[in-house]
Chains A and B, each alone.
Chain A
Amino acid sequence: MTTLAPPLNSPSRSSATVGLVTPGKFAIWLFLATEVMFFTGLIGSYIVFRAGSSPRAYSNLYPPATDLSRTRDTVGIVIEDAGPDPDKVAFELVDAHVVGGAEEAKRLMDTAPHGVVGGLTNDKAADLVHKIEVASGHARIEPLKTQKWPLPYDDLTNPLAINLTAANTFVLICSSVTMALALAAIRQGKRLKSSMYLLATIVIGSLFVGVQVYEYNSLMFVHHYPVGISPTGHFRPDVSLFASCFFTMTGFHGAHVTAGVIALILIFLRSLVLGGYSAQNHAPIEMVGLYWHFVDLVWIILFTIVYLI
């Protein structure tokens, strides 16, 4: 069949193709090389954008990419607690004309403990903090702080949930090991065991996708974030360059994982059929495995540079 593989009848062919080259394996590795280039386009863009972003592109008090040249002396307040009666605090904000209207004030109450109102003078901020205390809420004065890029753990500019995603990273790593074990099992001819490991990989992989979907949902629809993250309160692809990069990179990664889960489901079903795979014949498991580990590898890099740096 191939140039480098031993002839069909030789005993050493009887099992895995690890270390040997078949057209399928060559093609999958080549495909992975093209994937490397594709993700280079996305991740490389992220790297240069992040490094080249203006030092005043993000701030704790204004939406991303606001022109801050005339707002340098302003401060803001952070409403840390809306108190037992948020409506009262909201009323104070409307009364002081620092928000667009009752609607916006209400939304700000949801954002606590990170309800940011920017663009205030020092006096006005102090006055407002006082009024909020009287309305039995709690707020603090926040000086304007600009930065090049949303930093991890900075709740006023970065909405990403690091703890959840760190756990999710571990989930994906687990799915990689079950995948490797599925291949190891079929190589020893343990068909049932291999199928079970495949099933485990599907379940764990789906769990990863599920957590991603959950995270997307809370970022885009459920949560209200402070203005430094998004002017609308929702973190969506259009609100900042950071958001664009985040959604595109993790979105394409998520699509790859989803495609991997579908491929896994197909080979899992086939593995249940008698004679589906055997110690001699299991190339699809090996190939889907390679793809799956690659996707895991990309996630390791994405998690590090998008969430942690």
Chain B
Amino acid sequence: MNHAPDAVAGVDHDEHRSPYLRAWAALAVLTLVEYFYASIFRDVLGVLVIGLVFWAAVKAGLVGWFFMHLNQERAWVYLLIGPACLLAVLLVLAVYPDVAMQPVDGEAPNAAQALKTGS
């Protein structure tokens, strides 16, 4: 917000471009980081998920912050995007127990089996 691009007509344009190019370089590096991180931790699911989600969030943040100019926009943008993100998380969390925590097939029959043989 402090640096409305048009206000700096006189500034040399490298200065002007540089945040984009720096964001781009960071994104390129992070893509590489993700790539190697994924191949190193491919067998450790927890570390893999947490790390990759973190890197992806940073990358998404860079795109939003610099390319979509969230660094220059005002609160109203966040009022649109914020609730959407909140609802997105809420929906997944609420659905999670029902869909992702179902009894594993095979477990229940085995339990029944165990009961039968036990009695």
Q: Is the CB of A309 within 8 A of B48?
A: yes
Looking at the complex, which one of A176, A301, A304 makes contact with B67 (CB distance below 8 Å)? Answer: A176
**Chain B residues whose C-beta falls within 8 Å of the C-beta of A40 in the assembled complex:** 84, 87-88, 91-92
A170, B109: Cα distance in complex, Å: 48
Q: Is the CB of A19 within 8 A of B4?
A: yes
**Chain A residues whose C-beta falls within 8 Å of the C-beta of B102 in the assembled complex:** 52
Q: Is the CB of A184 within 8 A of B5?
A: yes
**Chain B residues whose C-beta falls within 8 Å of the C-beta of A309 in the assembled complex:** 38, 48-49, 52
Looking at the complex, which one of B1, B49, B92 makes contact with A19 (CB distance below 8 Å)? Answer: B1
CB distance from B63 to the nearest CB of A (A): 5
Q: Is the CB of A32 within 8 A of B76?
A: no
Q: Is the CB of A173 within 8 A of B106?
A: no
Taken residue by residue from 61 to 100, chain B's Cβ proximity to chain A (1 for < 8 Å, 0 otherwise) reads as 0011011110011101100110111011001100110011
CB distance from A192 to the nearest CB of B (A): 14
The verdict on A300 contacting chain B, using a C-beta distance below 8 Å, is yes
Q: Is the CB of B20 within 8 A of A180?
A: yes
**Chain B residues whose C-beta falls within 8 Å of the C-beta of A121 in the assembled complex:** none
A300, B24: Cα distance in complex, Å: 13
Q: Is the CB of B84 within 8 A of A37?
A: yes
The verdict on A144 contacting chain B, using a C-beta distance below 8 Å, is no
Q: Is the CB of B106 within 8 A of A69?
A: yes
**Chain B residues whose C-beta falls within 8 Å of the C-beta of A166 in the assembled complex:** 31, 34-35
Q: How many residues of B contact A (CB 8 A)?
A: 57
**Chain B residues whose C-beta falls within 8 Å of the C-beta of A14 in the assembled complex:** 6
Q: Is the CB of A19 within 8 A of B73?
A: yes
Q: Is the CB of B85 within 8 A of A44?
A: no
The verdict on A48 contacting chain B, using a C-beta distance below 8 Å, is yes
Q: Is the CB of A51 within 8 A of B105?
A: no
Q: Is the CB of A36 within 8 A of B85?
A: yes
The verdict on A30 contacting chain B, using a C-beta distance below 8 Å, is yes
**Chain A residues whose C-beta falls within 8 Å of the C-beta of B66 in the assembled complex:** 180
**Chain A residues whose C-beta falls within 8 Å of the C-beta of B27 in the assembled complex:** 173, 176
Question: Do A304 and B106 form a contact, CB below 8 Å, given A44-B88, A180-B67, A184-B5?
Answer: no
Of the 9-residue stretches A78-86, A207-215, A262-270, A290-298, which lies at the interface with chain B? A290-298
Looking at the complex, which one of B21, B84, B96, B106 makes contact with A54 (CB distance below 8 Å)? Answer: B106
A111, B28: Cα distance in complex, Å: 34
The verdict on B104 contacting chain A, using a C-beta distance below 8 Å, is yes
The 10 sampled A-B contact pairs (Cβ below 8 Å) are A14-B6, A18-B69, A26-B76, A44-B88, A56-B105, A176-B63, A180-B20, A181-B20, A300-B60, A309-B48
What 7 pairs across the A-B complex have the smallest Cβ distances? A15-B6, A52-B100, A51-B100, A304-B56, A40-B88, A177-B24, A308-B38
Q: A54-B104, A308-B52 are in contact. List 11 more A-B contacts (CB 8 A).
A: A29-B76, A29-B81, A33-B80, A47-B92, A54-B105, A162-B35, A181-B17, A294-B68, A297-B63, A297-B64, A303-B56
